[in-house]
Amino acid sequence: MDERGATLQIGENSLDLPGIKANVGNDGLNISKLRPNHGIVTYDPGFANTASTRSTITYVDGNAGLLTHRGYPIEELANSCSFLEVAYLLLYGDLPTKRQLEAWQASMQRHSLLNEEMKRFFDAFPKRAHPMAILSSATNAISTFYEEYHNPNDEESVIESAQRLLAKMPTIAAFAYKKSTGFPYIYPRNDLRYVENFLHMMFALPTEEYHVDPVIAKALNVLLILHADHGQNCSTATVRFVGSSQANLFASVAAGMNALWGPLHGGANQAVIEMLSNIANDPNATTESAIARAKDKNDDFRLMGFGHRVYKNYDPRARILKKFADDVLDRVKGDDPLLKVAEELEYAALNDEYFSSRNLYPNVDFYSGIIFRALGFPVRMFTVLFAIGRLPGWIANWKEMTEDPDTRIARPRQIYLGETTREFIPLHKR
Ligand code: ACO
C-alpha cells in the first residue's frame, strides 16, 4: 500500500483513508478522520486489528515466527549479548560501544541501592503477599523519592528515571522474595554485574559466603533477553496508555506490571508450572485429559503457555527455550519430571486438529518456568523475572511515546448500547 491508502464508501459518501507504509510487516490505514467527518467509530475488541502507534523498537512476524529488536534477530542477541547490552539497544536504538557499555553498567551499579525508608514498604506486606503485588507497589512507591524526575518532557529526567528504575528493579524483586521467606534483605554489591548481583541478593544469606554459579547467571541472562520486549503487548500497551496522560515513568511501569501479572499474559509462566505439576502429581489428570479440557468450550480451562495473539507459528523464544531447557537441566539439576510432561503435552497438542487448525503453538511461557525452576527460583517469582526482563521494553516504549509528536492522551471511543434518556423517578415513587 502507498500513501494514497484506500477509499471507504459509506452510503453516498466516500472518505479517503491515507496509507502508512511500514518498513516491513503490516501497512496501516489512518482512520483518524472517520469519526469527525462521518460520525462513525471502528469496533475492534482487544485491539487485534489496531495499530496504536508507529514504532522502531521491535518487529514481530507472527506467521514466520520472527522477532527482531532494532533490526537484530532475537537468536543473535540471546547468543551474544548481556541483558544490559540489549536494554541499551532497546532504549537508545543502537548496540553500545565498549565504553558506552562500561558507563551503562557503572550507572546500574551506582543506582542499585534503595532508600532505607523503602524497607518499611516491604515490611508492611503480609508474608504470603504475591511478589508481583509487592513489585508493582514498590515501583510506584519509589516514584515518591524522585519527584524531580517526573517531567516526561525533560530528556534528562527521562534518562535519570530510566536508569534508576533499571538499576533498582533487581533489588526490589529480591527484597520482595526475601520478604516472603522471612530472611534478611541482602543489599546490592557494586563489584557484581547486573544478573550476578540479582542472584546474590536473591539467594545469599548474611551468615555465609555465597558464590553465584556462572552457569545459572548465564542462563538467567538469556532468559531476561528473551523477555526484553515484544511490541504492543498488553503490559507495554498499558505502560504507553498510562504514560499518555503524562504520568511519570515509575507510575506507568507499575501499571504495566499489573497488566503483566494476569495469567493470559506474563502470569502464564506460573500457571504453566501449576498445570504441569497437576498432571504430574494428580492420577486423575493426564495430558489427554488436559487436551480434552482445553478443547471443551464449556470448560474455561486453557492449555497454559499455548497460543498467542501474534504468533501463528512457533514462538521463536519458545524454540530457543525448548533447546535451552535440556541444556540447563543437564548442567544444573540433571532432571525435572515436568520437562517430560511438557514435551508430551506439546507433542499431543501439535498433533491435534483443534490446536493445528487454530495455529496454537507453545509461547515463551511454556518452557521458561521449567528453566526458572531449574535455576532455583520459586514458582511465585516467575512473573517477577518476566517483569525484570520486560522492563527495558516498557521503558523504551514509554520514551518513544513521549518523543512522538503524534502522541495524544489514549482515549478510545465506545459504541453505546445502554438505555437512551429515561424519565427520572424520585426515590419515594420507585
Ligand atoms: N487453549 C485452548 N484453546 C485456545 C488457547 C489455549 N491456550 N488459546 C487460544 N485458544 C482457542 C480459543 O478458544 C479460540 O478458539 P475458537 O476460535 O474456537 O473460539 C482460538 O483458539 C483463538 O483464541 P483467542 O482467545 O481468540 O486468541 P487471542 O489472541 O485473543 O488470545 C492468548 C491469545 C490470550 C495468548 C490465548 O492464546 C491464551 O489464553 N493462551 C493461554 C495463556 C497463555 O499462555 N498466555 C501467554 C501468552 S504469551 C505472553 O503474554 C508472554
Ligand 1 atom closest to Cα of residue 272: 44
Q: Which of 229, 315, 336, 365 is catalytic?
A: 365
Describe the crossing of helices 131-142 and 249-261 by its angle, rounded to 10 degrees: 170
Cβ atoms of 372 and 381 within 8 Å: the answer is: yes
- Ligand 1 centroid to Cα of residue 388, in Å, is 24
Using 50, 70 and 90 to split pLDDT, how confident is the model at 257?
very high
- Ligand 1 centroid to Cα of residue 57, in Å, is 25
Which protein residue's CA is at the shortest distance from atom 16 of ligand 1? Answer: 358
Q: Which of 200, 227, 308, 315 is catalytic?
A: 308
Which protein residue's CA is at the shortest distance from atom 46 of ligand 1? Answer: 265
Mutate-to-test residue for ligand 1 from 236, 296, 309, highest number of ligand atoms within 8 A of CB: 309
**What percent of the chain lies above the pLDDT cut of 70?**
100
- Ligand 1 centroid to Cα of residue 289, in Å, is 18
- Provide mean pLDDT across the span 5-27: 91
Which protein residue's CA is at the shortest distance from atom 30 of ligand 1? Answer: 309
Query: Which string of b and e fits 293-318 if b means at least 16 CB within 10 Å?
Result: ebeeeeeeebbbbbbbbbbbbbbbbb
Q: Is 70 exceeded by the pLDDT of residue 93?
A: yes
CA 88 vs CA 145, 163, 222: distances in Å = 24, 10, 15
Using 50, 70 and 90 to split pLDDT, how confident is the model at 44?
very high
Mutate-to-test residue for ligand 1 from 299, 359, 363, 394, highest number of ligand atoms within 8 A of CB: 363
Closest CA to 78 of 272, 279, 222: 222
Q: Is 80 exceeded by the pLDDT of residue 169?
A: yes
Which protein residue's CA is at the shortest distance from atom 17 of ligand 1? Answer: 358
- Provide mean pLDDT across the span 245-273: 97
Using 50, 70 and 90 to split pLDDT, how confident is the model at 2?
confident
pLDDT at position 64, please?
93
Mean pLDDT for the chain overall: 95
Ligand 1 atom closest to Cα of residue 230: 51
Using 50, 70 and 90 to split pLDDT, how confident is the model at 130?
very high
pLDDT at position 1, please?
73
- Ligand 1 centroid to Cα of residue 284, in Å, is 25
Terminal Cα-to-Cα distance of the chain (whole angstroms): 59
User: 280: buried, middle or exposed (CB in 10 Å: 19+, 13-18, 0-12)?
Assistant: middle
- Ligand 1 centroid to Cα of residue 303, in Å, is 8
Mutate-to-test residue for ligand 1 from 273, 310, 321, 360, highest number of ligand atoms within 8 A of CB: 360
- Provide mean pLDDT across the span 281-295: 93
- Ligand 1 centroid to Cα of residue 226, in Å, is 21
pLDDT digits (tens, 9 = 90+) for 175-188: 999 999 999 999 99
pLDDT digits (tens, 9 = 90+) for 340-376: 999 999 999 999 999 999 999 999 999 999 999 999 9
Ligand 1 atom closest to Cα of residue 294: 2
Q: Long-range contacts made by residues 50-53, C-beta under 8 angstroms, separation at least 24?
A: 51/20, 51/26, 51/232, 52/232, 52/237, 52/240, 52/410, 53/232, 53/240, 53/400, 53/401, 53/404, 53/406, 53/407
Global pTM reads 0.95
Query: Is residue 308 annotated as part of the catalytic site, yes or no?
Result: yes
pLDDT at position 333, please?
65
CB under 6 Å to ligand 1: residues? 46, 264-266, 268, 294, 302-309, 358, 360, 363-365
C-alpha cell at 371: 528453566
pLDDT at position 11, please?
86
